[in-house]
Structure 1
């Protein structure tokens, strides 16, 4: 079987996160970094100098040169960047959330279908080795708690904390529970911005599982943890440190066991999976539909919060 040529990849938006997409495309065997685009030509030149590739002067020019592009711009620009890239037959990895509105998400999905292109959404925790363990070991979740706390940063504030951070955990929980939602109850407050900066939501599923998510982007310390309770077992895992423990009921009572997790860089695993999906013409692990479903729930949470703010 002939070896496939590396995918020609580019990055639209090379700020804090986009620079790492460029770095990884230049490092993976399945990909080569063709170039980058950013509204700041100076920033684009800096990233290209460090990681290789050309600096393109427009989204359209980047799209013409690439097989696949990561869209790592502010969320409110995702649609306007994605559509011209799809029109140039690029496969896309769009950082989460896919867009700020369901209408724009549907527009992207329609264009991708029309062009026969793959759209993967950057829900990075799905590629964290912790998630791989959860997917194998969570069989009948009854209660889930997620805590995602972060210090305040000026990036990402074009959306509230629900679309900025909580959507990660919404996506994880949907993947683990696999049941329709029966009820959502949410509260939140703004501290540093005009939108919610701290939020809590309780999601009740039709199968009886309940999930409670706490999120803040004005915390003194960073936390990314999940706890899952199911019959005869309790799992506690740390997404950031990629470690945790399992408490299980045994003959002599409860036993605690540290979870052996083979650590890895989630973004590198995510981009490698994206490249594999393109080359094998298979559905990506986090496709546009899953991204849109997570967005739909996040919007419901956001609307509940803002109705009471």
Structure 2
């Protein structure tokens, strides 16, 4: 039997803890190391799971075989590039980077080394499990709402790169055409970050999308409505339920599946399978993550210049 992969996590925040737990519990991998600028935070996440805390990147990379980047988004590309330079496959939390140029640098480094890079657009897991990616019709309209209360998490990026990018990825994956226009309006927070945004994006074939996100809402709401020529699908991501009036069957037991109960685990497992050669690709590829980032940045530009 081959030795388990040694998993390492960069970032000892909330999401870093989630990823560390996945490496500690999934088959064929162990949690070996956690890197953070605060040694006590790294140790607090790593040690209960059998790993070690690190503050030095080179030492951390020597202790691992695969890396998850769960640091603040503005460091995603830098940390992914460091891991790739050391020959380590990488799972990067979304967004893959904060500029397309940095995303392309990650892609070039991965190609040069022949290494797997996955991105954590975890809502894709639910879409696959539901069967939405198998509907043979092209959508006419997608309306997505993703609201949540104020939080100090992800203050280094806008609500577009934090929240809307999930729904942008889903729109791109169900459409066979490319986006052509983006219009938007939003509201800046006191620290100059877009915390509320509404965008309309049109695609070449007439597919229309409406994205509505807020980090200033009184409660969490995450819904989506997709209209097809034969009917529509309404999804409540919080309840993991949906209504389907199309003639195409969807999985009625999503809430009882691993995709419904632990989408992060399914996503990380997909990355590990791709690393081992057991799957041809991770659930969300680097190219797909860059495409979602590109459209998200176009929405940000539309917010800044609505005219």
TM-score by length of 1: 0.92
Q: 1:240 offset after TM fit, Å?
A: 2.2
- 8 Å contact kept, 1:147–1:214: yes
2:33 aligned to which of 28, 32, 35: 35
Decide whether the 8 Å contact of 1:146 with 1:169 is kept in 2: yes
Counterpart for residue 215 of structure 1? 213
Match of 2:252 among 256, 259, 271: 259
For 1:214 and 1:291, locate their aligned partners in 2 and report how far apart those are by CA, in whole Å.
20
Q: Tell me if structure 2 keeps the 8 A contact 1:179–1:205.
A: yes
Deviation at 1:72, TM superposition (A): 0.4
Question: Contact 1:11/1:69 (CA < 8 Å) preserved in 2?
Answer: yes
CA offset at residue 23 of structure 1? 0.4
State the aligned residue count: 302
Give the structure 2 partner of residue 278 of structure 1: 275
Q: Which residue of 1 aligns with 2:9?
A: 11
Partners of 2:251 and 2:110 lie apart in 1 by: 43
Unaligned ranges ≥5, structure 1: 250-256
* TM-superposed deviation, 1:68: 0.7
Q: Are the aligned partners of 2:47 and 2:53 in contact in 1 as well (CA < 8 Å)?
A: no
SS in 1 for 2:186: strand
Matched-pair contact (CA < 8 Å) for 2:74–2:156: yes
| Aligned equivalents of 1:122, 1:284: Cα separation in 2 | 10
Deviations 1:160-205 (A, max 9, x none): 1111111110001100112111221111111343121111111111
Question: 2:293 matched to which residue of 1?
Answer: 295
Identify the match of residue 224 of structure 1 among 222, 225, 229. Answer: 222
Q: From the superposition, tell whether residues 178 and 129 of structure 1 become closer, same or farther in structure 2 (CA, over 3 Å).
A: closer
Distance 1:5 1:223 in 2: 43
- TM-score (ref. length: structure 2): 0.92
Match of 1:113 in 2: 111
SS at match of 1:44: helix
> 1:232, CA displacement in angstroms?
2.2
1:55 aligns with 2:53: yes
Distance 1:5 1:49 in 2: 21
Unaligned segments of structure 2, at least 5 residues: none
| 8 Å CA contact 1:72, 1:94 repeated in 2 | yes
CA positional deviation for 1:231 = 1.6
Does the CA contact (< 8 Å) of 2:127 and 2:133 recur in 1? no
CA deviation after TM superposition for structure 1 residue 307, in Å: 2.3
Counterpart residue number, 1:253: none
- SS of the equivalent of 1:244 reads strand
Q: Report whether the alignment pairs 1:187 with 2:180.
A: no
Q: How far did residue 298 of structure 1 move?
A: 0.7
